[in-house]
Structure 1
Amino acid sequence: MTVKEKQSRLLPLFKHLTSLTRDQLPVGLRDDRLKDVGHLPRGTLFSLFHAKHLEEATHLYEILYGAKDFDDLMHLLEQARNTVNEGMFVYAATVAVLHRDDCRGVTVPPIEEVFPDRFIPVETIRHADKEAAAHPDKDIVVEFEETGNILDPEYRLAYYREDVSINRHHWHWHIVYPATWRPEFMHKEKDRKGELFYYMHQQMCARYDCERLSNGMHRMFPFNDFHEELEGYSPHLTSLISGLNYGTRPDGLKLHDLHDVTIQDMERWRERIHDAIDLKMVHDHHGKEVAVDDEHGIDILGALVESSHESVNQGFYGSLHNWGHVLTARAHDPEGKFHENPGVMSDTSTSLRDPIFYRWHRTLDNLFQEYKESLSPYTKEELSFPGVEVLSATVKAKTDNVIITSMVESELELTHGINFGTDHSVKVKYNHLDHESFSYQIKVENTSGSTKHATVRVFLAPKYDELGNLLHPNDQRRLCIELDKFHKELKAGKNEITRNSVDSSVTISTLHTFDELESGVGVNENADEYCSCGWPKNMLVPRGNNKGMTFELFVMLTDWEHDNVGGKGSDNHMCDDAVSYCGAKDSKYPDKKPMGFPFDRRIDAHDIEEFLTPNMALTDVKIKFEG
């Protein structure tokens, strides 16, 4: 069976899931393998962060993953669609399809087309519904309606938090790295999974602070006090499967104990993780001491904080990250007495919309940084690449070292996710941030007399803080966002490296819409669906401001012979897309260095010039927002 044939069989299962009835396929008619699923009711919101939801979802994706062949998988998927919770079905089906060898090249449609109600304000969807009903013989395009105004200072960042593409990225990353992934069952390892959890979310925090500075706002404050009053947030989203709006959190609410977790639990788990960092060791579930060392410590801590399957002791260190999401999502109705939907923090495809997401993840990142600060700073020897000197680094655009950003229009098709009772297209037109095309021109001299292989590392960071003061290198390092990382051969003598921003190792290369997948566009018999993981291209750089905000472009070349894990490129199915954030499927993470190197450890240098070595270059770059 060809990839195109498999694709055409799979796609209908993801259509109109918001219109399913709550009736379930009777147990007696189900495949025996599916008799123990369907506990979470249909018509309710599924949450990856809720332990009971995740337990059932894990059981389901392992059943689907274990199907005998593609026909057997389709049989199970068709029954599961009529049995389990709608959100759980999409999660489990996507995990299975993404990782099964007989589904290579098969692509699950974008989550924003499967569940548009998680991305588009309810007012806009109602407007679209009325227009479709009034003009059933026409294609409809409606305008995206605003979700707030300037009375809320945080609304200045709504364009970023509510961006369709970054919320899609977050949802998909948690598909690629399920917290409950069991290598012993799936027979595939997720290399450095705990460290990737740390690094991907650290980068999201850094990017958000860059965006705040671009808008003349202070960097975010962590959410350290579980008893403090919370800022409000109204998502203006409805859940079509439940008929209820996502919960709104008024200003001044506090977290409350839930049936499954208490505030005291959260404080106890956090203190135990602090102790583990201070003592440089954790206790596994047998009571054995496990060292939190320089090489594996961040991977161990990442698994502890997320509470993934790799956590050395879930019972003792708890589930700090996940329950933090659930507690904030239930703040408006902790006891469930009003039968309200949880807030957007309950879902990986919506949680980035809420300002509390970033404050919560800044708190978690502070834990990781506490560990990183305990490590010795990199020495000049560890940072250097003998025989290689970076002479200059330039951003090539319409104007050298100036990147223009702006708001551009896109459209989202709604009819695959929502049944409007028409055969015509119903779309939403919305604005999102984007930037002009640019490239890097890096001039390097190799004085070793022989060919060298280098890893080129490119970062960007704001130069000044919110008060206009020059950032100290140790503060600036936490604002460094990775733009690219790639391998380059250097001949003896002078070299000029050119690299386009579209080839970034952090961004997704291609994303096909539902219509494109139905028509066969982009179907490749040798492709790998893993390519749909990655940060969105349009959000690669921060917005900047109208005057032109000054950032520093940092370029560093390291010895690829020391960085390379071996075997890169040996797997013809491995997708090199966005490896910095998503790793390499079924392979080792393709870089031996710690993620974020060289900015993952404290910098004791008084200024950035003291930190630099000859294999590095620093260039002032202005980002100017035209909008």
Structure 2
Amino acid sequence: MSDFNPLNYLNLYSNPTTVKEYIEQLHADQLYKRWDTFIKRWRHLDEMTTIFEILYFIDVSQPVGWDLFYNTTSYLSVRVNVGQFVWATGTLFSTKFFGLLSPPVFYDTLPQLYTRKEVIRSMNRLPEPPPPPAGHVDVYDEPAYWIQDASLDYTHHQLMGRYFAERRSNNLGDIEPISLSDDFLLRKGFEPVRLNYDLGEYPTRGPNMSLKPQEGFQILRDSETRLLEAIQNGYAINGNREAVPLHNNPESFASDISGNDMFGAIVESSTSSINIDYYGSIHGDLHGNIADIIDPRYPQEFPMPGVQDHQEVNLPDPTFYQIHLYIDNLHRRHKYASPQIRSEKELVVSGVQLRSLKLQRKGTLGWNIWPWTPKVQVLTTYFEDVTRDVSNAVVDCNRLSQGEIFQTKVQQLNYHEFDYKLEIWSGHMGVENFIARIFMAPYLGADGKPSSEDDLHWSMFEMDKFPFVLKPGLNRLTRPSGRSLVCVGHEDQKLRRACGWPRHLLLPKGTADGLAMKLFVLVSPAQAGQNGGAVYTVDNEMNFPALSLCGHPWEKYPDDKPMGYPFDKKIHFDPPFAAGLIGLTNYGFYDSHDENKMHSRDQKPNFL
């Protein structure tokens, strides 16, 4: 309907006042322009939220509602700010249409944000821009396959665990977290490798820059001081100046989850923060301050802030990982401040034994993993060439109409799929619902020495979490790696969603000689989730795609344990790594190697 105008159909909307005000502002040219840079700051977010609310509250249960939704979406798609529209509709797919429709992936919708700028410029026959004022910067050492992976989004702790595994895979050292001390410098500069929505250049940040001259620096310091005080005191201060405990003594799973939710809300400064005026928004403000570091009174010097204000393009910047290491360390201090240290006694399920674990690559016999076995399980990764359509970044539509094909090839990390094969003995009398939790982490630190127990536990990243039925006697289970509940939903799941870890990045790259890894498996009874959540079972597993990292938009989390359990807080095993207990209890650490094949399936693999 080319002449469609929402103002002519206000009686069909559930929120006509919102629709009327927004469309009138759009017609009056009072909103951000179509190709303006989308910055996740208040006005941009308010406009994006309005787009979302207009579409979300349309009743599509009847044909007239679906027609209204279709026409409204079409109308907005060619008029409103592109970034706002993409983020609003992406949120719509994960809520209103959760499980029913899969949204178009961002790198197909806006390939200029996920493709090297040289490719986009060449494709559009654009001239080379002048050198940046700060000069060309090329000092970052992040692995190219990692920073160029367009499907990589982030869930902070999981991302940092995997990031350090990739650094170990490439013989790179540790990094320095952001510091708010007077003498701290961002030693690495960054010249962005991608373009903006309108194919413009993001500004380059030179090396050795200080946060101190920033107007918001003291606000950051105040937030840090108050967060550290909350951790030390064990309570946060709400808007009524009341102390709200972050931990209980003794700590239950419920209080642990509640306290962590509260702490996360004040760090992220979500609407759930109990005192946003006091604790501020340290995570968002760090990104914003570093984005503005070359233009402290933005937008005086540059038409857009630096990449740290743009979630789509900030992963290649080494400072991104310094920010998130800082935030992750805050989270660790909070979790380790719990008055209760977790121990192996908390994990034990009497009468249940994880007798053996075998990792079997597809088409192979596999190996049993025992600490006294000379053969260590080997998992393999490889690189593959992937072709991506970048036609949405073409400026000249005539070239598209003439049938020209615009594609680019990128090298992507992948892995050879394998099965977890578990043998579990149950001395219990009845049939029970159980959950298996699988984690992995590099065993050696950047110095080549074994990591401390605390550091290895904290660096554990989740590989899978799945329900199974435990019967009396010996149980043999096979779990394909491709069905991991950490990853984006599997193709045979009836519910569709785009959230989750990229399936091809399930394993870190590893090295040609083998990256030593520790694999941990825990099996324990499935319990009802907190606050009325369901029991996670084989019967409802398909209703929770990508559960481990994404939860569910309207269902309670179907697990009574905190996310990341049992490594979400300080835990002590006696003896370390449960040595000598393999096969005798319901959990165990196992040795594995990750090896990588450098280019294709036909070449010698690298090993994990």
**Is the pair's TM-score, using the shorter chain for normalization, greater than 0.5?**
yes
Aligned to 1:406: 382
Alignment of 1:160-559 (within 5 A): 160-166=146-152, 169-170=153-154, 200-225=155-180, 227=182, 228-230=184-186, 231-241=188-198, 243-255=199-211, 262-293=216-247, 294-295=255-256, 296-335=258-297, 336-375=299-338, 376-397=340-361, 398=364, 400=367, 401-420=377-396, 421-422=399-400, 423-509=403-489, 528-529=495-496, 531-559=497-525
Q: CA deviation at 1:568?
A: 5.0
Contact 1:438 1:500 in 2 (8 A): yes
Task: Give the residue type in structure 1 aligned to 2:558.
Answer: P
Q: CA deviation at 1:563?
A: 6.4
Contact 1:256 1:331 in 2 (8 A): no
CA distance in 2 between partners of 1:444 and 1:569 (Å): 17
User: Which of 592, 599, 608 matches 1:621?
Assistant: 592
TM-score, length basis structure 2: 0.81
Q: CA deviation at 1:84?
A: 2.8
Alignment of 1:113-128 (within 5 A): 113-128=108-123
Task: Give the residue type in structure 1 aligned to 2:54.
Answer: I
CA distance in 1 between partners of 2:181 and 2:303 (Å): 22
Task: Give the residue type in structure 2 aligned to 1:70.
Answer: W
Q: CA deviation at 1:275?
A: 1.3
**In structure 2, the residue corresponding to 1:155 is in which secondary structure?**
coil
Aligned to 2:9: none
Could you list the per-position Cα deviations for residues 510-566 of structure 1 after superposition, in whole angstroms to 9, with x for gaps in the alignment? 58xxxxxxxxxx9xxx9544x211100111111111111110111111111466942
User: Which of 35, 38, 45 matches 1:46?
Assistant: 38
CA distance in 2 between partners of 1:238 and 1:221 (Å): 27
Task: Give the residue type in structure 1 aligned to 2:205.
Answer: R
Contact 1:395 1:621 in 2 (8 A): no
Label 1:377 to 1:622 Cα distance change in 2 as closer, same or farther (>3 A).
Answer: same
Contact 1:213 1:466 in 2 (8 A): yes
Unaligned runs of 5+ in 1: 1-8, 10-29, 132-150, 171-199, 512-521
Aligned to 1:178: none
Aligned to 1:189: none
Root mean square deviation, CA, Å: 2.7
Aligned to 1:595: 563
**In structure 2, the residue corresponding to 1:394 is in which secondary structure?**
strand
Aligned to 1:608: 577
**In structure 2, the residue corresponding to 1:159 is in which secondary structure?**
helix
Q: CA deviation at 1:36?
A: 4.5
Could you list the per-position Cα deviations for residues 398-450 of structure 1 after superposition, in whole angstroms to 9, with x for gaps in the alignment? 45421111111101101134344223321011101111111111111112233
Contact 1:394 1:441 in 2 (8 A): yes
Aligned to 1:584: 552
Identity of aligned residues (%): 27
Could you list the per-position Cα deviations for residues 155-193 of structure 1 after superposition, in whole angstroms to 9, with x for gaps in the alignment? 352321221111xx34xxxxxxxxxxxxxxxxxxxxxxx
Label 1:39 to 1:301 Cα distance change in 2 as closer, same or farther (>3 A).
Answer: same
Label 1:355 to 1:39 Cα distance change in 2 as closer, same or farther (>3 A).
Answer: same
Unaligned runs of 5+ in 2: 2-18, 60-64, 127-136, 248-254, 368-376, 599-608
Q: CA deviation at 1:574?
A: 7.1
User: Which of 66, 81, 88 matches 1:92?
Assistant: 88
Contact 1:528 1:573 in 2 (8 A): no
User: Which of 23, 41, 55 matches 1:34?
Assistant: 23
Task: Give the residue type in structure 2 aligned to 1:91.
Answer: W
Larger Rg: 2
Contact 1:62 1:96 in 2 (8 A): no
Task: Give the residue type in structure 2 aligned to 1:290.
Answer: V
Q: CA deviation at 1:109?
A: 1.0
**In structure 2, the residue corresponding to 1:352 is in which secondary structure?**
coil
CA distance in 1 between partners of 2:452 and 2:571 (Å): 9
CA distance in 2 between partners of 1:323 and 1:156 (Å): 24
Question: Does 1:108 pair with 2:103?
Answer: yes
Q: Which has the higher helix share?
A: 1
Contact 2:160 2:321 in 1 (8 A): yes
Task: Give the residue type in structure 1 aligned to 2:556.
Answer: K
Q: How many residues align?
A: 530
Label 1:286 to 1:550 Cα distance change in 2 as closer, same or farther (>3 A).
Answer: same
Contact 1:576 1:584 in 2 (8 A): yes
CA distance in 2 between partners of 1:415 and 1:299 (Å): 42
Task: Give the residue type in structure 2 aligned to 1:607.
Answer: P
**In structure 1, the residue corresponding to 2:571 is in which secondary structure?**
coil
Contact 2:418 2:481 in 1 (8 A): yes
TM-score, length basis structure 1: 0.79
Contact 1:388 1:445 in 2 (8 A): yes
Task: Give the residue type in structure 1 aligned to 2:502.
Answer: P
Q: CA deviation at 1:342?
A: 2.3
Contact 2:203 2:302 in 1 (8 A): no
Label 1:581 to 1:110 Cα distance change in 2 as closer, same or farther (>3 A).
Answer: same
Q: CA deviation at 1:35?
A: 3.0
Q: CA deviation at 1:611?
A: 11
Q: CA deviation at 1:218?
A: 1.9
Task: Give the residue type in structure 1 aligned to 2:166.
Answer: E
Q: CA deviation at 1:371?
A: 1.2
CA distance in 2 between partners of 1:370 and 1:394 (Å): 35
Label 1:378 to 1:562 Cα distance change in 2 as closer, same or farther (>3 A).
Answer: farther
Q: CA deviation at 1:71?
A: 2.8
Could you list the per-position Cα deviations for residues 571-617 of structure 1 after superposition, in whole angstroms to 9, with x for gaps in the alignment? 98974221000002310112110111111111344622269681112
**In structure 1, the residue corresponding to 2:510 is in which secondary structure?**
coil
CA distance in 2 between partners of 1:368 and 1:479 (Å): 13
